[in-house]
Amino acid sequence: MSDRLYIFDTTLRDGEQVPGCQLNTVEKIQVARQLEMLGVDVIEAGFPISSPGDFNSVIEISKAVTWPTICALTRAVEKDIDVAVEALKYAKRKRIHTGIGTSDSHIKYKFNSTREEIIERAVAAVKYARRFVDDVEFYAEDAGRTDNEYLARVVEAVVKAGATVVNIPDTTGYCLPAEYGAKIKYLCDHVAGIEHAIISTHCHNDLGMATANTMSGVLNGARQAEVTINGIGERAGNTSLEEVAMILKCHKGIGINTNINTTKIYPTSRMVSSLMNMPVQPNKAIVGRNAFAHSSGIHQDGVLKNVQTYEIMDPKDVGIDDNAIVLTARSGRAALKHRLSVNGVDIDGEKLDKVYQEFLKLADKKKEITDDDILILAGADRSDLHNIKLEYLQVTTGKGVRSVASIGLSISGEQFEAAASGNGPVDAAIKALKVIIRREMTLKEFTIQAISKGSDDLGKVHMQVEHAGHVYYGFGANTDIVTASVEAYIDCINKFKK
Ligand code: KIV
Ligand code: ZN
């Protein structure tokens, strides 16, 4: 069996299903190019029939990327496949990923069908897709809860029909590592013709076992792993790319390699987190802020004597530049550009000048500028596209007084002002905002991200606002937390479907 594990990145499809973290096509191209530099083998670029945005993204990513295979998701439906074929027309290497639910609950409740009919539909979809492309991956949705004997029949039928890759998703994140590994082994041992296809893992993290399950699958014969950057994805997310890549790098004895250039892991993680406004938990393996930070005295002592006492990986291997230049008000454009580039953002010319001006303003307010700060600054001019902009905000607040806010907004260039009082500064500011924007909207979630490095740090606010039956996600960042909150609210409103 080959000693190469193919890395199938689904950050832009399964990962992007996180509510409120959708990217536009330009941002998706940026991520796809970074994934190409990272060395992934396959980029799942979207589900073309699901929306014109996804269709367009698959087209544009296909044009922008050269080496990785571009994959488009479909249901086992001819119309889906037709649309995917059209979306993939510019891809240099292309794959259609088609499939259907195979667990008894999917067969009964989702399809009101029978096991035999599901096999017929699976085979028909694979054969249909093979009329257009040579590389067809079949997914058996909810394979984690599908009994092995029936799953083997499905897999055998689709491989015979021409599937080049068979994906065994643990869609609900239910399996135990030993159980998932045994499932992969069962398929290797019982499916006639399995040597003509690659078995793929696709594990969800509902019980925190996605990476363990993926590794168990790989150790039992799978040679493709479906993963996302930072493990993002619906609910508790997917298997994270950086974990699988680093496990195989650290455990050389396993004898399986990937094509991942691990020094690009950290910049890629930062880019995805910043574009999706999705913070990485500090203790996240490999890419979290604390992943290499030793704080206990015993550890620090050991690490100072010899890093191998407590470190199993060199931070440089994952692209963490520990000689980082500390940015302050005296740093020049070149230092800012270098730091942004380490974090996966390459900008020049006018854009760099603009971010630099914002950087100087922020550096006047706080001593040390973090990577998070500059990433926010670099992404901040996305608000230039916004119709509604915050012009000014003044709040009077304190103990024993009712807070009062006055606010100025520009809406499509026209100026509006209002004032309101509330039971706190954020409440007063949002009430003033609502005096100007008279739409039905309800704040559903409001998170202020912990200030990590002192009282002058940027406050980061994530909000969800409900309007006309949809929930919109917004983000704001400012050294003034009330302003950050209003900016996050306005970010939500700017996304309302008209
Ligand atoms: O989790 C899952 O089953 C999936 C399939 C659509 C591949 O994402
Ligand atoms: Zn999935």
For 25-65, give the DSSP string.
HHHHHHHHHHHHHHT-SEEEEE-GGG-HHHHHHHHHHHHH-
What average pLDDT does range 458-482 have in this prediction? 83
Of the residues 47, 71, 151, 171, which should be mutated to test ligand 1's pocket, given the most ligand atoms within 8 Å of the CB? 171
Predicted confidence band of residue 385 (pLDDT cuts 50, 70, 90): low
Distance in Å from the first CA to the final CA of the chain: 55
Per-residue pLDDT at 346:
83
Nearest CA to ligand 1 atom 5: 141
Q: In sequence order, what E strands does 191-256 have?
A: 198-203, 224-227
The most confident of the ranges 101-105, 276-280, 399-403 is 101-105
pLDDT in tens, 247-281: 999 999 999 999 999 999 999 999 999 888 888 98
Burial pattern 117-153, b for ≥16 Cβ within 10 A else e, equals ebbebbbebbebbbebbebbbbbbbbbbbbebebbbb
Spatial strand order in the sheet of 459-467: 442-449, 459-467, 470-478
pLDDT of res. 295? 52
Kindly give, in sequence order, each residue whose CB lies less than 8 Å from that of residue 401, ignoring residues fewer than 6 positions away.
none
In 3D, which of 250, 266, 265, 256 has the Cα closest to residue 308? 250
**Which contiguous run of DSSP H or E holds residue 389?**
strand 388-396
- Cα(20)–Cα(3) distance, rounded to whole angstroms? 38
Task: Please list, in sequence order, all residues whose beta carbon lies within 8 angstroms of the beta carbon of residue 464, skipping any fewer than 6 positions away.
Answer: 19, 20, 443, 444, 445, 446, 471, 472, 473, 474, 492
Which residue has the CA at smallest separation from atom 8 of ligand 1?
14
202 lines ligand 1 (CB under 6 A): yes
Cα 299 from Cα 318, distance rounded (Å):
21
Ligand 1 centre to CA of 169 (Å) is 6
Q: What is the pLDDT of residues 16-32, one digit of tens each?
A: 988 778 899 999 999 99
How far, in Å, CA of 265 to CA of 278, rounded?
16
Give the residue extent of every domain in the chain: 6-275, 294-319, 324-381, 386-494
171 in contact with ligand 1, CB cutoff 6 A: yes
Residue 364 to residue 329: CA distance in whole angstroms = 6
Q: Is 183 helix (H, G, I), strand (E, B) or coil?
A: helix
Tokens of 98: 């088609």
Average pLDDT over residues 473-493: 88
Q: Is 8 in the pocket of ligand 1 (CB under 6 A)?
A: no
Q: Classify domain 386-494 by CATH number.
A: 3.30.160.270
Report the nearest-CA residue for atom 2 of ligand 1. Answer: 171
Across the chain, mean pLDDT equals 90
13 lines ligand 1 (CB under 6 A): no
Cα-based angle 23, 26, 27 (whole degrees, multiple of 5): 40
Pairing of strands 224-227, 198-203: parallel
Percentage of the chain exceeding pLDDT 90: 67
Q: Residue 296's pLDDT is what?
A: 58
Q: H-helix or E-strand containing 417?
A: strand 414-422
> 427 in ligand 1 pocket by Cβ < 6 Å?
no
Round to whole Å and give the CA distance between 81 and 252: 40
- Read off the pLDDT of residues 421-449 as tens digits, 9 standing for 90 and up: 999 999 999 999 999 999 999 998 888 86
Helix (H) or strand (E) holding 393: strand 388-396
Tell me the best of 141, 165, 224, 228 to mutate to test the pocket of ligand 1, counting ligand atoms within 8 Å of each CB and taking the most.
141
Q: Is the CB of 60 under 6 A from ligand 1?
A: no
Q: How far is residue 292's CA from residue 263's CA, in Å, rounded to a whole number?
A: 15
Ligand nearest 169 Cα, by number?
Answer: 1
Q: How far is the CA of 312 from the centre of ligand 1 (A)?
A: 33
> What number does CATH give the domain 6-275?
3.20.20.70
Q: What is the rounded average pLDDT of the residues 293-308? A: 64
> Distance (Å, rounded) from C-alpha 458 to C-alpha 408?
22
> Is the Cα dihedral 18, 89, 259, 188 positive or negative?
positive
CA of 13, closest atom in ligand 1 = 8
Name the residue at shortest CA distance from atom 1 of ligand 1: 171
Residue 170 CA to ligand 2 centre (angstroms) = 8
Q: Which residue has the tokens 């970074």?
A: 34
Contact between 258 and 1 under an 8 Å Cβ cutoff? The reply is no
Residue 304 clears pLDDT 80, i.e. is over it: no
Q: Is the CB of 14 under 6 A from ligand 1?
A: yes
